[in-house]
Structures are given as structure tokens and as C-alpha cells.
Amino acid sequence: QRTFSKIVYDTELQRCRPEAALVEFGDYHPLKPIMVTDTKTRHGARKGSTSSSSSSSSSVAPDPLSSMLDGTDPLSMFAAASVIEAPAMSHSRKEKEEEAVGPDFETWSSKRGEILARFTTTEKLSINLFMGSDRGKAPSPGSSAVSEKVRTRLEELDDLEEGSQKELLNLSQQEYANRIEELNQSLKEAWASDQKVKALKIVIQCSKLLSDTSVIQFYPSKFVLITDILDTFGRLVYDRIWTMCSDPRPLTDSFTVEDVNDTAKETCLNWFFKIASIRELLPRLYVEAAILKCNRFLNKCGIPETLPRLTAMIRGIGDPLVAAYARAYLCRVGMEVAPHLKDSLNRNFFDLLGTFRQVSSDSVQNQLVLQRVEVPEYLTLYSPAVNWILQCIAYRAPEDYVICAEIWVEFTCRHFSKREVNTVLADVIKHMTPDRAFEDAYPQLQSVIRKILTYFHDFSLLFSMERFLPFLDMFQKDSVRVEVCRSIMDIFIRHQEEPSRDPVILNAMLHICKTMHDSVNALTLEDEKRSLALLIIGFIRMVSFGRDFEQQLSFCVEARATFCNLESVLVQLIHTVNQLAMETSRVMRGNHSRKTAAFVRACAAYSFITIPSLSSIFSRLSLYLLSGQVALANQCLSQADAFLKAAVSLLPEVPRSISVEGKLRSSESFLMDFINNFLATLLVVPDHPEHGVLYLVRGLLNMVQDYTWEDNSDAKVRVYISALPLLAAMSQETYLYSIPKVDSNETLYGGDPKFLSEINKLSETLIGQILDHLKALGRDEVRQQPLAFSLFGVLLAHGDLRNNKLSQLAVNLWNLSHKYGHCETRVSVRTLECMKHQAQQADMTHLSDTVQRLALQSRT
Amino acid sequence: MSVTLDIRLKRANKVYHEGESVAGVVLLVCKEALQHHGVALTMEGLVNLQLSSKSVGVFEAFYNSVKPIQLISSNVEVAKAGKIPAGKTEIPFEFPLSTKGNKVLYETYHGVFVNIQYTLRCDMKRPLLAKDLSRNCEFIVHCQPQKAKVVPTPVHFTITPATLQNARERSLLPKFLVKGHLDATSCVISQPLTGELVVESSEVPVKSIELQLVRVETCGCAEGYARDATEIQNIQIAEGDVCHGLPIPIYMVFPRLFTSPTLETTNFKVEFEVNVVIVLHDDHLITENFPLKLSRV
């Protein structure tokens, strides 16, 4: 029976043979010089002909692969010729890319040497070639019925096989390699002498050797040697059919099925039928894979349909190592022909994983025991195959790659240390950088960052990963980049528990914050700016150099330069520096050394030059005031003076209305608040020795007077009223409050009558102005009465009512404010009660007289 | 004086259908001018029936009565007696492929007991002392597509010791469970036989799983018949201890010439079957048989 199936090959082959001879080459043919020897006759002597490709490989060139690829190869000559002759026929670039791998793919030839060197053995090897394995069996019923002609042919064939039916034992590794190379040569010779059946038999027998796993540690090398032969065979068949199509002109590299003539198609089809009837699984698989490329001659979908089928076919291989290498071979030929068909590559990998449990099956384990191979060593035998399959899958597959990487990174983060995560990051960078592949994978790359941030809250650890910042560099689209920085900052602010001085963290964070800052431009929305600023501020607040204040200050200097476009960050920096000055003072317990004094002055200088760069006038005012206070607290009198003077001179610039949360509002109340606050500070500011008495107070009041207040506003008078308590406080022997180590005016003047009279004069002037204003308001009692009442309140609280004139003034003001009954009766009643209560104290009895004179208008 | 005679068909695959013309050239190549007595071309289609040796005794009486059945025959003279010039001479010819009466052109089939073959023969008669030249060339006939539509119906199977028919000691058999299906047993001859098979479990490791394609040829007449099953090919689909639970593809291409659409005539029958053969490591052989119906569409 089996004998009969052999006849199948035979007749199929016989038929494919004569057609080949049909092709005739005209004189004009460009291939003539190298291809003349290919004219063959069906019968009779073979005219000692060899094709150029085989003769070049039988020369001294040691590697048959590379010799096939040199310039003399007819294929490349076709290609070169077709470029010149038929430029119009060249396909689009995209199509070309699909059909071949680029130079960025590490080729098999670069791997094979490495594998051969790595997987060696000193054990004896054997080669079993059963070229005539079907012979000698009981004749099938069919054989007697075979026609005479077929039988003759069969005998001819058997004669060809004589001598090749042998078992070679006790071969050393080198001998084995030599034998295989001999087979490679006899394959080429058989082919060249038109013995296609013999050629096929050689290839089938060689493929069969791959199911033999004895001396298993040599298997990877065996795979390399034998697949060399398969490659040779695949090339021979392909080139043969190719040359059959060279009439009227040679095929181009990008030929289509329509360009192939019927004879060539029929020959090609014959090969596939023949291979389909190979009895054993492994040879059938390998040989069909070897001529996979020939599908191009038959139909367009041949390769996309064959690859999945062969992939599934490998499931029939029970030995996991044999199967793994079969997969590697299929991926190898698949990559050569159709690198864009990723599904089959993936399928191979998943099937490999799915059948990996076979490794622990009894058949494998028994074999290992028998061959005395330990499991770890056995597993390394898989590495070239797995490595190759993965390389194929990863080739130009950033999309698939990054989807996997996204998952793997989580796995790595969860179960491994930063070292492994760093490795994953490095790999992602390596894959995503060529061709700017990262541009299409921002969501996945962002997800990678998110996952890392979920597991790594220790930022010194995070930033000590070498590849973390380079990874961030892949986010080159501004919006994405900022978003990523934002997410990092967000985690940092939420999870960084202690302020840090770690230079790794600081450099990295500064880099990230700078990125966020630099994204700000004229079109950035206020909200966006605010949220970015908040994040940067969050970072600044987490920076602490401990006792190294100078370092901290220089950090602030650097930060100011870096974040100059975000006002609120600058504000924060000024606060930070002020805080730094106060911290210095605290550390020195208020006694600055020469060095710390210089330092706090430097702090003041920092603030002083930073404040003018702010655009918000109230920020400037309040920071001048605050910095002045800090300077004062640090005994930097001239600096404090400078701050306060700057604030005063800024006042005229305050606009009447400011924008608050997008709405235009009157600035008056803000200004009033500031001035009151300022006045309170002025109490402790000693007069400058070179300027006159109450220089700053006068300056402030002058500014208030000259300021263009809103029409119909009483603000100016209110300021005057507020200034009176300050003047009263200044005239006290001992001030209500003072700053340690700073002599206020009380000490400077020591209650000098001249000083007091200055204060009095100033008070009189103010009161005069207030009264003028009240008068001017005339019958506008709605505005007049509250003013009158507040002046009354100030006189009551700060004035000496034993003075009759003042007492009378108070009474008048009371009456004025109650004249029209617009006053809150409850406030009036409580005021009276309070006065009566005070009058009971010693030295205050005079108040009771005044109280008597204050009539409370009964409500009608 | 060397001369070669050849028949070249126009179609590379040499496949023709009833009603078409078989066209080509008779090719003569000679170094010098050649005298001849006429070149004739014969087309013939024959069914050859043979009885197997084991049947010979039983049907001795009708053994000799099995004669070839002629399906088609025609003859034409392509060149009258004369001279052929030196060099290459091509004589074109064309035969209509049609039958006389109600005869049917069966599809070309190369079997063991049944052979259906179509040939072209070119004969050149030559003067005395020169040998007549003859050349044979087989061409292939594909029968007309069948009208009835083939709807593939999957056939599922489960093989366990309990499903075996001829096992003597069922209890001694190792336990196993193999499930699977063929996508169809009514197959289109130009398309492969497909399906899937899963070794769910097996006490003894699997050594090999094979698909055996079998032809069943019946020759007979009124007196009786001989029926013989022989293997066409055997395709291994699994080798070694395959992964349990993993579907393994069943896939087999029907070989050309050796298969034809299932054929049933008054004198002979050609049928096909496939055996799924599971060989266990202890050399237990488990076979599941599926009759096939092949057709051409």
C-alpha cells in the first residue's frame, strides 16, 4: 500500500518535469549568459549542466547562505534589471514594506552562528536516512496491478536511492555537521541534474531527523543545520518557478499572480500536491513551510491562508521541544514572506505557551532521565526558538508591543523591584523610539506611568530608575507631556510625606515642574495656570534643605528663574524666603550673628527684587508689607524701610477697580484693608534718622490724600479716622506691642514733647479734615451719620475726654449721628452701657459727665 | 538520423471537460528532412477493470469476461504521407471531447482495480527499415460539476474503549477519550478534508494519529461482484504524546488522479472512505471509519 503512495510522488514529478523544458530563451534574453544551462531534455543524457547559483555555492565560499545572497545570484540580478527596465511596475512603498523585513530586523543568519557555538555536545550522534523506507515491505495488493510503465519508473527511482539508504552512527558533532553539509550539496547536485524526486527525498529525510531528540542538548544546533537545507530547497524551488516565468520578460520583485504563466502555476501546484501527500507530519510541515513563498505564484491569499493552517498543524507534534522549533521555523519563513501577518506569529506564541505544560509530561521527563539532562539545562534549549519567535512578534509591532508592555509593567511593579521595572522601561523605550512609534501610543504609555505611580510612592526610588526620565521624554506632544507631569506631581504631593533635599528627587521634580511651567503660554487658560501653579507650589513646599538655609535660598533663586511665568509660584517663593528668614531668626533665638544677619538681608533682597515682577498690585502691596515686617523682625531696619516705602509709593498706582474671579469690582475695600494693616505695622517702625518725624505715616497719609478715590466715597476720611488710633498709640509712653531687639519710636524719642506735639498737630489736622468732610456732606445724613459715629467711637476709645474741647466734640458728634435716627439704637445703647461701665474705673470718672450729656433718642 | 515526436497540449494542466476541445500540436524535430507514410492521431478513453487475485478463484467464470469499456475513441490523420522538412515542425490538432450516444465521460481515475484513462496517441508510419514512431500522451478529464448543491454537515465522533466494535477484551484496553469532528463527509474533491480532533485523555501515551484515505472499488456484472478496499494514502496528523485537550487539525488534500468523484455504474463502483487511526504507545491500533462522498462542483 505504501509503495503505491510513492508512485503518487513519482507520477506527479514526472509530469512536472517536461514542462520545465518548454521554456525557451530567445537570444535577446538578459538572463541568457547565466541561465543557458537550464535547457533540459526529458530523456537522454543530462548535459552536464549546473545552474549558476549552485556552481557559485560549490566554490570556496564557506557559508552557502551568504554565497546565495551575493551579487551573482540571478534573483538580485532580476531585481536590479527590473528597476532599470520597468520602473512603472514598481509597487507602492507601503506594499513593499509589507512584503519584506527591513534592515532593522535581526536576521536568522546573524543568530545561527551563535546557536551552533552555544549548543554543543561531546556525545556521539547518528543520522538515520531511510531513503527507501517503503521498500522490502510486503507488496500491497495494488502493486501487482501497477502498470508496467509505472513499475519501471519506480525501479529507476530505487536505483537512484541506492547507497543513500544508510544509518550513520557514532558521529562527532563536526562529523555530523559535515554529513549534513554533504546532504546539502547532494540536494543541490540532485536538483541541478534534474533529479527532483531525489531532491525532495533528501529534504524529507532531513526534516525527519528533526523528530529525533536523542542527544537533546544538540537539538538547537541540529535545527540550524537542517533548516539550512530546507532553506536551500525552498530557494531552489522558488527560483525554478521564477525562471519559468521569464518569458517574455523576467518577473519583477513585486509580481502578481496574473504575471505567472500556466506552466509555472501548474509546476508550482504539483509541488504543493506532492508535499500534501507526504506521510509523516514533521517532514510535511517543514517542507511545505520551506516553499511557503511559492504560494505567491498561485494566488494572493495563499500565504495568509497557509500560515494559520501550518501553525495549527504544529499542535500535532507531541514533543514540546520539537514543536517549539517547528514554530520558530514557521515564524522564520513567515517573516521572510509576510512580516505583516502578525496573527500567525502570535498564534504560534500562544500555542507555545498553551502546550508548555507538556514539558512536565512523563514522556519528556523520562527522556530527560534517560539522557541525564537536568530540567534547567533542558529549558535553556528552548531559548533560541522562543527568542526568535518573540523577535518576530516584536518586529515593528509597537502597537501590540505596547499593549503587552502596559500589562507587563504592572506585573513587574507588583512583584519585582525597581531594577526590573527599569528594565521594562528601557525595553519600552527601545521599542517605541524608532520611527517615533511612541506618537501612536500615548494612552498606553500614560497608562504605564500611571501603573508605576500606583506602586511606587517613594520618589527617591522612582527617580533612581535610570530610564524613568528618558521614558518621560517620549511624551513629546505638549498636552500629553503636561498631563503626565501633572499626574506625577499629583502623586508626589499626595504621597511625599516629608520635605526632601534628595538631589535626585529635586532635579527630577524640577525638570517635571519646568515642563509644566514651560507649557504655559499666552493662550493658557487662567484655570489651567492656577492648577499648574498649585502643583508647582506643592513641590516647592516639599523642598527643605533642613539647616542648610543658604542652599534653600539658592534653590529659591533657581526656582524663581525657572517658574517666572507663574505669578502665584513667585508669590510662594517670596513666602518661602520670608519663612526662611524667620526660621533663621528662630534658630538664632533672635540674635543674628554677622553671618546670619547677612543671610537674612539676602533674603530681604530676594524678596525686594522679586516683588516688582508681580503684576497683581495687591500681591505686591501685601508682600511689601509682609516682607517689611519680616525684615523688621530680623532687625534689618533699612530693608524694612525700603519695603514700606515701596508699598507707600505703589499706592497711587492702585486702580479703582480690580478683577476678582473674572468680575470687575471696586478695589476700595481691599485698599482700606491694606492701609489699616499697614497702619498697625507703622506703630513699631522706628523713624529713619535722616528723614523727619513720622516720615512714613505722613507719606502714607499724603498718598491717601492725593489718591483719586471714587466719587462720593468716604474712604479717604475713613482712613483718616483709622489713622487716629495709630497716632494715639504712638503717643503712649509704652507701646502696645513691639518687636524684640528693635527700638520703636517710644525708645527713640523717649516721650520727647516735640515728638508728641508733632503727633498732636497731625491729629488735629486729621480731625479738621474729617470735620470738614462731615460738614461738606451737609444733609446727606446717610453718609454723614456713620462717619460721625465712628469718629465718636475713636475719640471715646483713644481720646482724652477730660479735655473739654474734645469732650464737647464727642458730644456734638454723638448728637450729629443721632440727629435723624438713622443710627442703630442697639449699638447706641450698648455704647452708653460700656461708657457707664468704664466710668466706674478709677481715672475714668469724667466719662460719667460725658455720658450724662449723651441723649439717646427714643424711638417713636 | 534522429527524430523526436511529441504531443504538446495547449493547456498546461491538461485538464479538459466534456464538450470542450482537446487542442495542441504534434511536434516533430529532425535534423534532416524526413520521409514518412502518414501521421495519425488517436484519442481514446478507456475503463480498465481488473479483479484482485483473491477474487479470481471465486469468479473464475467471469474473470475473462472483464473487458475494457471504451468511453470515447476517434482517429484523425494529421499528415498525409510525404516529407517533413528538417528542423522543428508543429502540426496543430483539435479533437472535440464529446461522446456518441448516451455514454458518459467518467472522470480520470487511477486506481488498483479500476482505471479510467484518456490518452492521445500519435503514430508515424515510416518506410521500410525505419521503425514506426509512436507517442502517448495522457490527458485528464474532469466530469461536469454536479448540479446538486453540497451542504457540508459536520460529523462528530467520540472514541473510547466502549465505542470499539471488535475489541475482544474491553477491560484490558487502556482508557482513552478522543473527541472530534469532520467538517463534512460529503466532500468537494478540489477542497481538503478538514476537521478537528482532541485527545481528551489517554492512559497510554499516543504514538501517532493518522488519516488513512481508502478507495473501495467494486467490479461486477450480473454474475456477481468483487469488492476491494485499498489504501490511497496515509497522512500523519499527530506524532508522539500530544497535548491533551488541545484541538489538532484534521486536514488532508485529496490527491489528484487517485481520487475522483464517487462513481457508481452498472459495471463498477468507485467509493472512498477515510479512517482516523490512533496508534498508542503499546501499539494498540484504534480505527474509526468514515465513508466519504466525493463530488466536483
Q: What is the pLDDT of residues A561-600, one digit of tens each?
A: 999 999 999 999 999 999 999 999 999 998 999 999 999 9
- pLDDT surpassing 60 at residue A241: yes
- pLDDT surpassing 80 at residue A34: no
Q: What is the mean pLDDT of the segment spanning A184-213?
A: 89
Q: How far is B150 from chain A (nearest CA, A)?
A: 23
- Residue B72: φ, ψ to 5°: -155, 150
Chain centre distance of CA B214: 11
What the block records as the C-alpha cell of B183 is 467538517
Instruction: Tell which residue, A641, A782, A792, has the closest CA to residue A721.
Output: A792
Give residue A107's pLDDT: 84
Q: Which residues pair with B216 in a beta bridge?
A: B229, B271
Below-70 pLDDT ranges, chain B: 1, 52-66, 221-224
Tell me which of A243-252, A431-440, A670-679, B234-243 is least confident.
Answer: A243-252
Q: Does A477 touch chain B (CB under 8 A)?
A: no
DSSP for A264-278, written as a single string: HHHHHHHHHHHHHT-
Contact yes or no for B210/B232 (Cβ under 8 A): no
Contact B236 A279 (CB under 8 A): yes
Query: Which chain A residues are closer than 8 Å to B115 by Cβ?
Result: 147
Q: What is the mean pLDDT of the segment spanning A132-139?
A: 38
Q: What is the pTM of this model?
A: 0.59
What the block records as the C-alpha cell of A244 is 519559468
Q: What is the mean pLDDT of the segment spanning A524-534?
A: 91
Contact yes or no for A66/A109 (Cβ under 8 A): yes
Query: Which chain A residues are closer than 8 Å to B52 by Cβ?
Result: 141
Q: What is the mean pLDDT of the segment spanning A191-203?
A: 89
Give residue A55's pLDDT: 30
Give residue A306's pLDDT: 92
What the block records as the C-alpha cell of A283 is 517532514
Q: Does B282 touch chain A (CB under 8 A)?
A: no
pLDDT band at A66 (very low <50, low <70, confident <90, very high): very low
Which is higher by pLDDT, A550 or A157?
A: A550
What the block records as the C-alpha cell of A271 is 509541488
Contact yes or no for A426/A418 (Cβ under 8 A): no
DSSP for A703-738, written as a single string: HHHHS-PPTT--HHHHHHHHHHHHHHHHTSSS-S--
- pLDDT surpassing 70 at residue A40: no
Q: Does A379 touch chain B (CB under 8 A)?
A: no
Give residue A214's pLDDT: 86
- Residue A700: φ, ψ to 5°: -60, -50
Contact B236 A281 (CB under 8 A): yes
The string of pLDDT tens digits covering residues A356-382 is 888 888 889 998 999 888 989 999 999
Contact yes or no for B42/B121 (Cβ under 8 A): yes
Query: Which chain A residues are closer than 8 Å to B231 by Cβ?
Result: 1-2, 4-5, 140
pLDDT band at A27 (very low <50, low <70, confident <90, very high): very low
Provide the chain A residues 324-363 that lie in CB contact (below 8 A) with chain B: 354-355, 357-358, 361-363
Q: Which of B12, B112, B251 sits opposite A142 (nearest CB)?
A: B112
Distances (CA, A) of A413 to A462, A469, B266: 11, 17, 77
Helix pair angle (A567-587, A594-610), 10° resolution: 160
The string of pLDDT tens digits covering residues A800-828 is 888 888 999 999 999 888 887 777 888 88
Give residue A50's pLDDT: 33
Q: Which of A1, A280, A281 sits opposite B230 (nearest CB)?
A: A1
Contact B50 A145 (CB under 8 A): yes
Instruction: Tell which residue, A243, A218, A341, A278, has the closest CA to residue A13.
Output: A278
Give residue A159's pLDDT: 45
Give residue B215's pLDDT: 94
Query: Which chain B residues are closer than 8 Å to A315 by Cβ?
Result: 242-243, 246-249
Q: How far is A167 from chain B (nearest CA, A)?
A: 22
How are beta strands B193-202 and B248-252 bridged, if at all? Answer: antiparallel
Classified as helix, coil or strand, A851 is: helix
Give residue A684's pLDDT: 93
Q: Is A419 left (phi over 0), alpha (psi -120 to 50) or beta?
A: alpha
Contact yes or no for B97/B20 (Cβ under 8 A): yes
Q: What is the mean pLDDT of the segment spanning A751-774?
A: 93
Give residue A151's pLDDT: 45
- pLDDT surpassing 60 at residue A7: no
Mean pLDDT, chain A, integer = 82
Give residue A60's pLDDT: 34
- Residue A100: φ, ψ to 5°: -145, 150
Q: How far is B166 from chain A (nearest CA, A)?
A: 23
Which is higher by pLDDT, A8 or A417?
A: A417
- Percentage of residues of chain A with pLDDT beyond 70: 83
Question: Which residues fall within 8 angstroms of residue B46, CB to CB, at 6 or more apart?
Answer: B68, B69, B70, B71, B115, B116, B117, B118
Q: Does B245 touch chain A (CB under 8 A)?
A: no
Helix pair angle (A196-209, A148-161), 10° resolution: 60
Q: Which of A5, A8, A145 sits opposite B113 (nearest CB)?
A: A145
Helix pair angle (A108-118, A219-244), 10° resolution: 150
Q: What is the mean pLDDT of the segment spanning A826-846?
A: 88
In chain A, the residue whose alpha carbon lies closest to the alpha carbon of B193 is A276
Which is higher by pLDDT, B146 or A323?
A: A323
What the block records as the C-alpha cell of A747 is 525708645
- pLDDT surpassing 60 at residue A331: yes
Q: What is the mean pLDDT of the segment spanning A455-469?
A: 90
Contact B238 A363 (CB under 8 A): no
Chain centre distance of CA A51: 55
Q: Is A766 left (phi over 0), alpha (psi -120 to 50) or beta?
A: alpha
Q: What is the mean pLDDT of the segment spanning A17-24?
A: 36
Give residue A99's pLDDT: 59
Give the span between the Cα atoms of A492 and A724, in whole angstroms.
50
Q: Which residues pair with B196 in a beta bridge?
A: B181, B249
Q: Which residues pair with A329 in a beta bridge?
A: none
Give residue A69's pLDDT: 38
Q: What is the mean pLDDT of the segment spanning A403-423?
A: 89
DSSP for A26-89, written as a single string: -TT-TTHHHHGGG---SSS---S---HHHHHHTSS-S-HHHHHTSTT-HHHHHHHHHHHH-GGG
Instruction: Tell which residue, A766, A753, A754, has the closest CA to residue A799.
Output: A766
Q: Which of A22, A313, A363 sits opposite B241 (nearest CB)?
A: A363
Instruction: Tell which residue, A49, A38, A27, A57, has the closest CA to residue A242.
Output: A38
Q: How far is B172 from chain A (nearest CA, A)?
A: 22
Give residue B63's pLDDT: 54
- pLDDT surpassing 70 at residue A109: yes
pLDDT band at A497 (very low <50, low <70, confident <90, very high): confident
The string of pLDDT tens digits covering residues A264-308 is 999 999 999 999 999 999 999 999 999 999 998 998 888 889 999
Which is higher by pLDDT, A762 or B297?
A: A762
In chain B, the residue whose alpha carbon lies closest to the alpha carbon of A9 is B255
Highest mean pLDDT out of A48-52, A259-263, A679-683 = A679-683
Q: Does B243 touch chain A (CB under 8 A)?
A: yes
Q: What is the mean pLDDT of the segment spanning A180-199?
A: 88
Q: How far is A319 from chain B (nearest CA, A)?
A: 6
- pLDDT surpassing 60 at residue A81: no
Cis omega (within 30 of 0) for bond into A248:
yes
DSSP for A393-426, written as a single string: HHTT-HHHHHHHHHHHHHHHHHHS-HHHHHHHHH
Give residue A59's pLDDT: 32
Provide the chain A residues 222-251 that lie in CB contact (below 8 A) with chain B: none
- pLDDT surpassing 50 at residue A146: no
Contact yes or no for A629/A737 (Cβ under 8 A): no
Contact A354 B228 (CB under 8 A): no
